[in-house]
């Protein structure tokens, strides 16, 4: 069975009650240049191609897409995304439960933002991107990188909704693996994509107007939050 490596992301300062699973641009490794981001985005695939070229869990992805309309409309009404042209570059796999819980909603959001676009790379094609967004030396997907109209990185959202990550962090080792992920599936279902949408919008709204965000610093001696989840249906 395929498994997804799940790592807690660094919260972006100022996210407030949202506590978005976000971090400033390129906290690890060498930041990519605008030219490198432009080339990476150009070779990434549209969302529909991502679905068509790997039919893993196709029924679950189709069911999620059917649910996105009302959720995205409600979130956009309550938390409008900022104006402008945005490019969202995503690293994800069809088999991953966290990708399934967020990407259909984020893709529909971007469809509703004139001039903006979302594209996806699979992990095997995105090593430099993953290397530039490590968390305490580890990788995590889905990774949603927010680029502005000039292909400058403005921030990133990693892996899963903050309240679900907090639950996993608190209960890993306290609950059995089956109980833990059964609860997570219920939380994802109840959330219905709302929190990932709000958190991705928060990344856009917190993006600096000029220049890149300063790199975040890892807490010395702090171990990364680690969990392995079987990619089961949510």
157 touches 9 (CB < 8 A): yes
Pairwise CA distance, residues 85 & 149, whole Å: 5
Pairwise CA distance, residues 4 & 138, whole Å: 12
DSSP letter string, 69-94: HHHHHHHHHHSPPPSS--EEEEE--T
Pairwise CA distance, residues 148 & 152, whole Å: 5
Looking at 3.40.50.300, 3.40.30.10, 3.30.565.40, 3.60.20.10, the CATH number of the domain 3-213 comes to: 3.40.30.10
What pLDDT, in 10s, does the model give residues 171-213?
999 999 999 999 999 999 999 999 999 999 999 998 654 333 3
Where does residue 16 fall: left (phi above 0), alpha (psi -120 to 50 degrees), or beta otherwise? Answer: left
What pLDDT, in 10s, does the model give residues 112-152?
999 999 999 999 999 888 888 876 566 889 999 999 999 99
What pLDDT is attached to residue 42? Answer: 97
What pLDDT is attached to residue 227? Answer: 35
Which residues partner with 45 through β-bridges? Answer: 120
What pLDDT is attached to residue 4? Answer: 36
Pairwise CA distance, residues 12 & 145, whole Å: 14
DSSP letter string, 28-61: SSPPPPHHHHHHHHHHSEEHHHHHHT--TTHHHH
**145 contact partners, CB below 8 Å, separation of at least 6:** 88, 89, 90, 91, 129, 133, 153, 156
Lowest average pLDDT, out of 19-28, 39-48, 95-104, 150-159, goes to: 19-28
The pLDDT of 212-218, averaged and rounded, is 34
What's the pTM value of the predicted model, to 2 decimals? Answer: 0.79
CB-based burial of residue 96 (10 Å sphere; 0-12 exposed, 13-18 middle, 19+ buried)?
buried
């Amino acid at each position: 069975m395929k498994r997804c490596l799940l790592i807690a992301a660094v919260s972006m300062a100022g996210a407030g009650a949202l506590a978005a699973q976000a971090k400033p641009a390129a906290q690890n490794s060498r930041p990519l240049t605008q030219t490198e981001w432009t080339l990476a985005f150009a070779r990434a695939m549209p969302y529909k191609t991502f679905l068509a070229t790997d039919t893993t869990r196709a029924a679950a992805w189709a069911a999620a897409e059917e649910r996105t309309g009302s959720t995205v409309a409600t979130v956009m009404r309550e938390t409008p995304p900022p104006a402008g042209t945005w490019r969202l570059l995503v690293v994800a796999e069809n088999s991953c439960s966290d990708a399934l819980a967020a990407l259909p909603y984020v893709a529909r959001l971007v469809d509703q933002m004139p001039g903006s676009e979302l594209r996806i790379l699979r992990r095997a094609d995105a090593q430099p991107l993953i290397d530039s967004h490590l968390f305490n030396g580890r990788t995590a997907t889905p990774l949603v990188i927010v680029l502005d109209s000039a292909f400058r990185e403005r921030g990133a959202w990693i892996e899963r909704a903050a309240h679900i990550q907090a639950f996993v962090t608190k209960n890993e080792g306290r609950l059995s693996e089956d109980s833990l992920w059964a609860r997570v599936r219920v939380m994802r279902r109840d959330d219905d994509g709302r929190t990932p949408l709000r958190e991705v919008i928060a990344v856009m709204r917190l993006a600096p107007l000029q220049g890149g965000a300063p790199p975040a610093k890892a807490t010395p001696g702090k171990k990364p939050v680690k969990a392995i989840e079987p990619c089961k249906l949510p």
